Chains A and B, each alone.
Chain A
């Protein structure tokens, strides 16, 4: 267990948090996808370092899987979707961005406060980063809430999954392989289904603005 790997993981965790904030403040969908890809790369790096430091072979496999899915396949799918739908340029968020940043900071503080007693129980090398992982989950959830278009919401959902993955790696040295495979498949299928949905929403309302879905409410 080298001090270097701990340092590296802490650095990557900080990077992840920064990327989350960047996603909140980003209006352009294309940049959002780039940020998401970067998040994936950070995740791969973290997993690989943990695998190297703890000598757990299966984490390498997990890192490879993450790379294939979150760095290559899903961003590719997202690019195709926005190309086909022609929605490169996102517009306004529901709340203006400076306010969102402040709420985000509050959320990070809350997340650190929450993670403190759990992190004490953990035996993992990366236990200090649990607070960051939780903060990423909360920030992604907030992003889903504050976006009015369907594609950023999907990206928020995927980023939320990234946060969970990071939490799993950080606190328990990775999930069992079966669970990981299952989740990876879930995310992939989720993206495909959401993509189909987006086409249908677009067809129905000629826009991807989810506010149109309010019409579906039963009175």
Chain B
């Protein structure tokens, strides 16, 4: 293991470079403070510069995944309590995700932020870059103290970013909810570290790795970590902040929140489960799978019923987090039974999906940002037909949508396919009960994937296809140059992940080697361009073949339609079934498209329907899809807290005499207590 103490002379470690990138981000943020209202400088110089450092981080991390772990001790922070940092393959992998996505989002943000968005641009620049640096350092932290400091910095910076338009009460509420749940999670994480250090008083991760916890205490630590990181990731029932905070935040921020910040929670749970804890119990895996599948199903069903495009994406993020947790659960399960190659397979699926989701979800959020700026409309019911006016954004979103729907040849398919492979090979588990459970879960995952496809068809179809539902949509303009650069970067990433699975699995290989002691790198390297996770006679996938097949099909259809069938092109109105007075309002709406799902899964929804009366001259139909968790969990909890607060309020009489009496009685009580 290499070690460094803050830029020691001689060779530079990768870790030093990463810390340099983080400090560069911090400096960019500080420059932003001094250029508080100079939008041109902030947008056209500082944000692109931040993006360049994102690319640098991606490059360093890509090399560092294959390198040996490095550590550093930075003498900042409290006296006697320096920050420990460590760069190993796991953190390098997540740094890759952070750097890659940040590069695209920063470029997009250069063209996105404009005047009058609440927070002045310079301050926004500070918050944004502090957020990036904090995420980088969270992933690097090697002791609980540094981790918590960075984790909280990340939470606060993202809270400020979410409440950019803080003059709107709904946005303030969303931000507050986010902050609240983030802090509940932070308590869980803090307690988890408290258990992990096993009464030694040494909070470095090095010490935690060396501790041998009993199964009971290990389980406590695991449950606390699940609760803490689950709150950040948006696991049920702590998911409620996601659909509130994502629509509230500006689109580049939503992209970072959903694409990258949720992944730090994935990082945390992997770090605790596979690195800091030295044992894994089978029921942890079952619990993770159960929570993950329920979250995924919940997320996708709600996504299908949404009518606000950013809310839809937020629920889709919940779904993807559920899938990630399912994959991690599967890995824990395999690992607890010592089936290390299978654990590596499930873990590879999880990591692949982490990177894939980071790219396509941030891409889609940026797409909604471009649409939002062009039309100032978030409601799906008022969009439509934008492909004609914003072709660039539409095609870019199409890539994201295909990846998100899990269709070949893009990244979503690879990871979900790998995950299903993991389930299919799970028959070797030594427990009868688990062997019954696993196929059911696999079926549910397949259902989630199918519904995700449905949701994405809705998302793309309602926004970009059909005819504009409002007249002013015809005035929509396409994305600007900076925005195009940002989205093109993410599209390139998504395509690369989809088309080069073998190379990417080899990048992941050191991570799974480090966490489980096994990897897919050697297996997949043997078969050239065909992705073979386990054995050639079981299953294989070649993205190039798919791409070729799709290309040939498209070409054939084009030739047949253009050359043979018609021979010539003519433009005319389509057949209108003999009813010529068609308007854009007759198209299927977002509510209409989601109606079958609402019907099938009605017990899941807290529906609030307003049906028009038959005699209404201007009938209005309104349906609101609520979340039962609000009614059954959050509102009672809030009411309980309020009641408690009111009880405590009786203590506050507003009379100095009474307050003095409190001090007096407390003093006497304490003295009497000491007397014993």
Complex alpha-carbon distance, A211 and B655, angstroms: 7
Given contacts A217-B653, A217-B654, 11 further A-B contacts (CB under 8 A): A94-B657, A114-B671, A114-B674, A117-B675, A138-B668, A145-B661, A145-B664, A146-B657, A210-B656, A215-B654, A216-B654
Instruction: Please name the residue on chain A nearest to B654 by beta carbon.
Output: A217
Any A CB within 8 A of the CB of B660: yes
Among residues 118 to 174 in chain A, which have CB atoms less than 8 Å away from a CB atom of chain B? 138, 141-142, 144-146, 148, 153
Instruction: Please name the residue on chain B nearest to A94 by beta carbon.
Output: B657
Q: A110-B668, A113-B675, A138-B668 are in contact. Are A144 and B660 (CB under 8 A)?
A: yes
Any B CB within 8 A of the CB of A214: yes
Complex alpha-carbon distance, A142 and B661, angstroms: 8
Q: A148-B657, A210-B656, A216-B654 are in contact. Are A142 and B664 (CB under 8 A)?
A: yes
Would you call A141 and B656 a contact (CB within 8 A)?
A: no
Would you call B657 and A145 a contact (CB within 8 A)?
A: yes
Complex alpha-carbon distance, A216 and B652, angstroms: 12
Chain A proximity of B66: nearest CB distance (Å): 61
Q: A110-B668, A114-B671 are in contact. Are A214 and B660 (CB under 8 A)?
A: no
Instruction: Please name the residue on chain A nearest to B663 by beta carbon.
Output: A141
Instruction: Please name the residue on chain A nearest to B675 by beta carbon.
Output: A114
Would you call B672 and A214 a contact (CB within 8 A)?
A: no
Any A CB within 8 A of the CB of B440: no
Chain A proximity of B660: nearest CB distance (Å): 5
Complex alpha-carbon distance, A114 and B675, angstroms: 6
Q: A114-B675, A117-B675, A145-B661 are in contact. Are A214 and B668 (CB under 8 A)?
A: no
Question: Chain B residues near A215 (CB, 8 Å)?
Answer: 654
Chain B proximity of A122: nearest CB distance (Å): 16
Any B CB within 8 A of the CB of A189: no
Complex alpha-carbon distance, A141 and B663, angstroms: 9
Complex alpha-carbon distance, A145 and B655, angstroms: 10
Complex alpha-carbon distance, A121 and B485, angstroms: 78
Any B CB within 8 A of the CB of A196: no
Any A CB within 8 A of the CB of B667: yes
- Which of the residues B654, B660, B663, B671 comes within 8 Å of A213, measured between beta carbons? B654
**Could you give 8 example pairs across A and B, Cβ below 8 Å?**
A113-B675, A114-B672, A114-B675, A141-B664, A141-B667, A145-B661, A214-B653, A217-B652
Complex alpha-carbon distance, A214 and B653, angstroms: 8
Complex alpha-carbon distance, A210 and B659, angstroms: 13
Question: Chain B residues near A113 (CB, 8 Å)?
Answer: 675
Chain B proximity of A44: nearest CB distance (Å): 27
Question: Chain A residues near B652 (CB, 8 Å)?
Answer: 217
Majority secondary structure of chain A interface residues (helix, strand, loop or mixed): helix
**Which 5 residue pairs spanning A and B have beta carbons closest together?**
A217-B654, A145-B660, A214-B654, A114-B671, A141-B664
Complex alpha-carbon distance, A146 and B657, angstroms: 7
Majority secondary structure of chain B interface residues (helix, strand, loop or mixed): helix
Complex alpha-carbon distance, A117 and B668, angstroms: 16
Interface size class on chain A is: 20 to 34
Complex alpha-carbon distance, A145 and B675, angstroms: 24
Instruction: Please name the residue on chain B nearest to A113 by beta carbon.
Output: B675
Instruction: Please name the residue on chain A nearest to B655 by beta carbon.
Output: A214
Chain B proximity of A204: nearest CB distance (Å): 15
Complex alpha-carbon distance, A45 and B556, angstroms: 113
Among residues 622 to 676 in chain B, which have CB atoms less than 8 Å away from a CB atom of chain A? 652-657, 660-661, 663-664, 667-668, 671-672, 674-675
Question: Chain A residues near B660 (CB, 8 Å)?
Answer: 141, 144-145
Question: Chain A residues near B657 (CB, 8 Å)?
Answer: 94, 145-146, 148, 210
When each residue 195-219 of chain A gets 1 if its CB lies under 8 Å from chain B and 0 otherwise, what string results? 0000000000000001101111100
Complex alpha-carbon distance, A56 and B632, angstroms: 72
Complex alpha-carbon distance, A80 and B216, angstroms: 71
Question: Chain B residues near A110 (CB, 8 Å)?
Answer: 668, 671-672
Question: Chain B residues near A141 (CB, 8 Å)?
Answer: 660, 663-664, 667
Complex alpha-carbon distance, A78 and B668, angstroms: 30
Question: Chain A residues near B672 (CB, 8 Å)?
Answer: 110, 114
Complex alpha-carbon distance, A148 and B660, angstroms: 12
Question: Chain B residues near A211 (CB, 8 Å)?
Answer: 655
Question: Chain B residues near A94 (CB, 8 Å)?
Answer: 657
Complex alpha-carbon distance, A217 and B654, angstroms: 5
Chain B proximity of A114: nearest CB distance (Å): 5
Chain B proximity of A149: nearest CB distance (Å): 11
Question: Chain A residues near B653 (CB, 8 Å)?
Answer: 214, 217
Question: Chain B residues near A114 (CB, 8 Å)?
Answer: 671-672, 674-675
When each residue 324-349 of chain B gets 1 if its CB lies under 8 Å from chain A and 0 otherwise, what string results? 00000000000000000000000000
Complex alpha-carbon distance, A23 and B657, angstroms: 18
Complex alpha-carbon distance, A60 and B652, angstroms: 45
Complex alpha-carbon distance, A38 and B661, angstroms: 27
Question: Chain B residues near A148 (CB, 8 Å)?
Answer: 657
Question: Chain A residues near B661 (CB, 8 Å)?
Answer: 145
Complex alpha-carbon distance, A216 and B675, angstroms: 38
Complex alpha-carbon distance, A113 and B664, angstroms: 17
Chain B proximity of A66: nearest CB distance (Å): 24
Instruction: Please name the residue on chain A nearest to B658 by beta carbon.
Output: A145
Most buried by A among B653, B655, B657, B664: B657
Among residues 155 to 169 in chain B, which have CB atoms less than 8 Å away from a CB atom of chain A? none
Complex alpha-carbon distance, A92 and B663, angstroms: 23
Complex alpha-carbon distance, A148 and B675, angstroms: 32
Chain A proximity of B61: nearest CB distance (Å): 52
Chain A proximity of B159: nearest CB distance (Å): 26
Question: Chain A residues near B671 (CB, 8 Å)?
Answer: 110, 114
Instruction: Please name the residue on chain B nearest to A143 by beta carbon.
Output: B660
Would you call B656 and A213 a contact (CB within 8 A)?
A: yes
Instruction: Please name the residue on chain B nearest to A116 by beta carbon.
Output: B675
Complex alpha-carbon distance, A146 and B655, angstroms: 12
Instruction: Please name the residue on chain B nearest to A117 by beta carbon.
Output: B675
Chain A proximity of B661: nearest CB distance (Å): 5
Question: Chain A residues near B667 (CB, 8 Å)?
Answer: 138, 141
Chain B proximity of A109: nearest CB distance (Å): 12
Chain A proximity of B656: nearest CB distance (Å): 5
Complex alpha-carbon distance, A198 and B657, angstroms: 16
Chain A proximity of B104: nearest CB distance (Å): 49
Instruction: Please name the residue on chain B nearest to A111 by beta carbon.
Output: B671
Complex alpha-carbon distance, A153 and B656, angstroms: 10
Question: Chain B residues near A217 (CB, 8 Å)?
Answer: 652-654
Complex alpha-carbon distance, A105 and B7, angstroms: 70
Instruction: Please name the residue on chain A nearest to B662 by beta carbon.
Output: A145
Complex alpha-carbon distance, A117 and B675, angstroms: 8
Complex alpha-carbon distance, A144 and B675, angstroms: 25
Instruction: Please name the residue on chain A nearest to B657 by beta carbon.
Output: A145
Question: Chain A residues near B674 (CB, 8 Å)?
Answer: 114
Most buried by B among A94, A148, A153, A214: A214
Complex alpha-carbon distance, A149 and B532, angstroms: 87
Chain B proximity of A142: nearest CB distance (Å): 7
Chain A proximity of B284: nearest CB distance (Å): 48
Most buried by A among B660, B667, B672: B660
Complex alpha-carbon distance, A117 and B672, angstroms: 12
Instruction: Please name the residue on chain B nearest to A148 by beta carbon.
Output: B657
Instruction: Please name the residue on chain A nearest to B656 by beta carbon.
Output: A210
Most buried by A among B654, B667, B674: B654
Complex alpha-carbon distance, A173 and B657, angstroms: 34
Complex alpha-carbon distance, A216 and B655, angstroms: 9
Complex alpha-carbon distance, A122 and B667, angstroms: 22
Complex alpha-carbon distance, A215 and B656, angstroms: 12
Complex alpha-carbon distance, A208 and B674, angstroms: 38
Complex alpha-carbon distance, A110 and B673, angstroms: 12
Chain B proximity of A3: nearest CB distance (Å): 30
Instruction: Please name the residue on chain A nearest to B664 by beta carbon.
Output: A141
Complex alpha-carbon distance, A117 and B676, angstroms: 10
Chain A proximity of B663: nearest CB distance (Å): 8
Complex alpha-carbon distance, A11 and B133, angstroms: 70
Complex alpha-carbon distance, A110 and B672, angstroms: 9
Chain B proximity of A94: nearest CB distance (Å): 7
Complex alpha-carbon distance, A211 and B654, angstroms: 9
Question: Chain A residues near B668 (CB, 8 Å)?
Answer: 110, 138
Among residues 524 to 542 in chain B, which have CB atoms less than 8 Å away from a CB atom of chain A? none
Complex alpha-carbon distance, A178 and B180, angstroms: 46
